């Protein structure tokens, strides 16, 4: 007989948040339904990806975890998966999302909401300087002494950017800005797609006291498009290629961190944190991915600072945890930490490292559990032979990759299936004698094999090396939404991304952001303070 799972109420979660106790409020729906409505500090971890993500995102196995959905039936099996992975304090949110609402809990839309709401609070309290799209366009057209710095990730910048804009991801701004605008009279414009990273980036430069006049591009590329102006696509101007940085940058960043209440750590503190089994400690290297791969501190994960401030709910889903940041320049960790401290995190910057300490290389590897039961693997060549031999109904290929990757390219005849919705997806697929599971690398596919065998009673194989191995073998591919057995709810379409968002969606997004400060006040659990 299965033991019933414990439950926690809205008031239990609220009390933990107000007490700054460690708690992970995990919404196990796919990203799109999550983005439609969720509590402020809920982190999205889709039920179908728990084995891939849980151990790295929630590193302490006795963390208090509260799991929720909105009545889809995902929360209880997801909670039991977490228990099977060794988590000992797992509960369901009483009543799920509706129970939260019924108890008076505030509900938020979109993704990365804690950071976006905090950005709006910063602007409201500090009156962060900004210029409209029309004003910035006029400066560029007049060939005024102005430089436009794009604070987003480089791939976002490449999709669409302000003409003449230079990619300088958020945490790089204080490090690079004065090298890119050495004349103190040069006006610096900071932009992102919407508002948050423009505000935080601009305020970072203001807080650091750089001599240049600084302004955010009001409403980012959304504002630019709504003004009827043209964006660049495929630009490749990168400010981080310069090795020259201001000699004052480290001093300025440290002063901001001190003012925000950032704590200092050394090697002995790391050892003390390791011994403290009652606390979660995230160890994060805030430099670029390229720098991290070249050499990093053992046990540290890469989280470039600008994105970390933007995506705290993704990187650190355990609210109330301790965060230790590191860099090699004394700028990026301090500036990033200054923002996390204002967002009520227990944040430390690691001091006193030596070049020899940065000895680990390559990407960090996530700890992963072993799949349940034995797995039968097949090769791309064998799968190709099975598909060629037919007839229809003999072999069905299920692709568990993201829907974006599936549409881009997949094995001919393969069905797109969300692992979170594996059972309902099977109702849309003709029964087969043999099923072959794949994804990009077949890493996720391995965890679905036992479930698929149980649901179908058929033989189940996993494609060795996944679709990447099929591609490497030179086998044919197809593209498009050819066979969608699951709806494409695995990713929420941000109104500020891409080049074809409707004007109504972009304006609606800005209107939503403008209302976040009021929502923070109604929710009352954030603990944010703006220096």
Residue 43 backbone dihedrals phi, psi, to 5 degrees: -110, 140
Give the DSSP letter string of 443-473: HHHHHHHHHHHHHH-SEEEEETTHHHHHHHT
- pLDDT reported for residue 497: 66
- pLDDT reported for residue 512: 80
Q: Is residue 103 located within the same domain as residue 134?
A: no
Please report, for the domain that includes residue 461, its CATH number: 3.40.250.10
- pLDDT reported for residue 373: 85
432: domain range? Answer: 377-472
What 8-state DSSP symbol labels residue 47? G
Domain-ending residue, one of 110, 143, 166: 110
- pLDDT reported for residue 392: 74
Residue 35 included in any domain? yes
Q: Is residue 225 located within the same domain as residue 294?
A: no
By DSSP bridging, strand 322-326 and strand 281-285 are parallel
Rg (CA), the chain: 24
Instruction: Report the C-alpha gap between 298 and 439 in whole angstroms.
Output: 30
Query: Could you tell me if 206 and 128 are in contact, meaning their C-beta atoms sit under 8 angstroms apart?
Result: yes
Average pLDDT over residues 97-120: 96
Instruction: Report the C-alpha gap between 340 and 153 in whole angstroms.
Output: 19
Q: Is residue 257 located within the same domain as residue 339?
A: yes
Residue 43: partners with Cβ closer than 8 Å, 6 or more residues away: 24, 25, 26, 27, 57, 313, 314, 317
Q: Is residue 62 located within the same domain as residue 150?
A: no
Q: Is residue 238 located within the same domain as residue 306?
A: no
Q: Is residue 417 located within the same domain as residue 348?
A: no
Residue 486 included in any domain? no
Q: Is residue 396 located within the same domain as residue 316?
A: no
Q: Is residue 388 located within the same domain as residue 301?
A: no
Kindly indicate the confidence band of residue 449, based on its pLDDT and cuts at 50, 70 and 90.
very high
Query: Could you tell me if 449 and 462 are in contact, meaning their C-beta atoms sit under 8 angstroms apart?
Result: yes
Q: List the one residue out of 245, 111, 103, 252 whose CA is nearest residue 182.
A: 245
List Cα–Cα distances, 100 to 24, 40, 46, 104, 516, in angstroms: 15, 11, 19, 7, 19
Output the pTM of the full model. Answer: 0.94
Q: Is residue 211 located within the same domain as residue 274?
A: no
Instruction: Report the C-alpha gap between 397 and 475 in whole angstroms.
Output: 15
Give yes or no for residue 499 having a pLDDT over 60.
no
- Average model confidence (pLDDT) for the chain? 94
List Cα–Cα distances, 71 to 96, 99, 451, in angstroms: 7, 10, 21
Q: Is residue 262 located within the same domain as residue 241?
A: no
Residue 216 included in any domain? yes
Residue 265 backbone dihedrals phi, psi, to 5 degrees: -130, 155
Residue 32 included in any domain? yes
What 8-state DSSP symbol labels residue 134? H
- pLDDT reported for residue 511: 83
Lowest mean pLDDT among 141-155, 203-217, 227-241, 366-380: 227-241
Give yes or no for residue 241 having a pLDDT over 60.
no
Instruction: Report the C-alpha gap between 10 and 7 in whole angstroms.
Output: 10
Lowest mean pLDDT among 80-89, 175-184, 208-217, 406-415: 175-184
**What's the domain count of the chain?**
4
Query: Could you tell me if 506 and 497 are in contact, meaning their C-beta atoms sit under 8 angstroms apart?
Result: no
Q: Is residue 210 located within the same domain as residue 312?
A: no
Interval 88-103: pLDDT, tens? 999 999 999 999 999 9
Residue with tokens 């990730």: 153
Beta bridge partners of 130: 216
- pLDDT reported for residue 500: 65
Residue 18 included in any domain? yes
Residue 198: partners with Cβ closer than 8 Å, 6 or more residues away: 130, 151, 190, 191, 192, 216, 217, 218, 220
Q: Is residue 133 located within the same domain as residue 242?
A: yes
Q: Which two tokens stand for residue 13?
A: 């979660």
Residue 2 included in any domain? no
Sign of the Cα torsion 421, 424, 428, 434 reads positive
- pLDDT reported for residue 364: 80
Residue 459 backbone dihedrals phi, psi, to 5 degrees: -75, 140
Residue 121 included in any domain? yes
Residue 183 included in any domain? yes
List Cα–Cα distances, 34 to 56, 127, 217, 315, 397, in angstroms: 21, 31, 29, 17, 28
Residue with tokens 């500036």: 335
Domain-ending residue, one of 52, 83, 110: 110
Domain-ending residue, one of 91, 110, 129: 110
Give yes or no for residue 406 having a pLDDT over 90.
yes
Give the DSSP letter string of 229-297: PPPBSS---BGGG-----TTHHHHHHHHHHHHT-EEE-HHHHHHHHH-TTS-EEEEE-S-HHHHHH-B-
Give yes or no for residue 243 having a pLDDT over 50.
yes
Q: Which two tokens stand for residue 291?
A: 């720098």
Average pLDDT over residues 215-223: 93
């Amino acid at each position: 007989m299965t033991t019933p799972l414990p439950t926690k109420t809205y008031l239990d979660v609220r009390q933990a948040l107000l007490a700054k106790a460690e708690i992970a409020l995990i919404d196990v729906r796919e990203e799109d339904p999550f983005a439609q409505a969720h509590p402020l500090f809920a982190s999205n971890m889709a039920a179908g990806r728990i084995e891939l993500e849980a151990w790295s995102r929630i590193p302490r196995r006795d963390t208090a975890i509260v799991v929720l959905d909105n009545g889809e039936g995902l929360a209880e099996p997801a909670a039991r998966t977490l228990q099977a992975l060794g988590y000992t304090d797992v509960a369901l949110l009483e009543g799920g999302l509706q129970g939260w609402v019924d108890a008076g809990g505030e509900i938020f839309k979109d993704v990365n909401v804690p950071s976006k709401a905090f950005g709006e609070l910063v602007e409201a309290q500090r009156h962060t300087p900004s210029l409209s799209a029309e004003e910035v366009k006029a400066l560029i057209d007049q060939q005024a002494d102005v430089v436009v710095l794009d604070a987003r990730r480089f791939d976002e910048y490449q999709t669409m950017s302000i003409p003449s804009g230079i990619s300088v991801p958020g945490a790089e701004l204080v490090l690079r800005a004065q090298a890119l605008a050495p004349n103190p009279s040069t006006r610096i414009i900071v932009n992102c797609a919407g508002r948050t990273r423009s505000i935080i980036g601009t305020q970072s430069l203001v807080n650091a006291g750089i001599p240049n006049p600084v302004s955010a591009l009001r409403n980012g590329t959304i504002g630019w498009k709504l003004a009827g102006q043209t964006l660049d696509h495929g630009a490749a101007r990168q400010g981080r290629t310069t090795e020259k940085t201001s000699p004052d940058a480290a001093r300025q960043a440290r002063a901001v961190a001190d003012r925000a209440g950032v704590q200092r750590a050394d090697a002995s503190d790391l050892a003390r944190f390791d011994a403290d089994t009652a606390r979660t400690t995230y160890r994060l290297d805030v430099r670029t991915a390229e720098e991290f791969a070249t050499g990093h501190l053992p046990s540290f994960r890469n989280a470039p600072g600008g994105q970390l401030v933007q995506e705290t709910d993704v990187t650190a889903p355990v609210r109330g945890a301790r965060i230790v940041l590191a860099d090699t320049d004394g700028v990026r960790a301090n500036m990033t930490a200054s923002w996390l401290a204002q967002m009520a995190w227990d944040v430390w910057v690691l001091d006193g490292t030596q070049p020899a300490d940065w000895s680990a290389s390559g990407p960090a590897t996530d700890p992963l559990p072993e799949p349940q039961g034995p797995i039968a693997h097949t090769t791309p060549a064998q799968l190709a032979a099975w598909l060629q031999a037919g007839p229809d109904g003999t072999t069905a290929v299920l692709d568990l990759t993201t829907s974006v990757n599936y549409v881009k390219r997949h094995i001919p005849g393969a069905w797109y299936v969300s692992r979170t919705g594996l059972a309902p997806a099977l109702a849309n697929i003709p029964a087969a004698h043999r099923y072959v599971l794949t994804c990009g690398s077949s890493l996720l596919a391995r965890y679905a094999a036992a479930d698929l065998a149980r649901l179908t009673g058929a033989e189940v194989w996993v494609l060795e090396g996944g679709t990447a191995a099929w591609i490497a073998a030179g086998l044919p591919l197809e593209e498009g939404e050819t066979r969608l057995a699951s709806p494409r709810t695995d990713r929420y379409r941000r109104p500020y991304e891409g080049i074809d968002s409707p004007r109504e969606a972009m304006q609606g997004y800005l209107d939503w952001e403008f209302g976040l400060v009021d929502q923070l006040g109604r929710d009352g659990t954030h603990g944010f303070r703006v220096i």
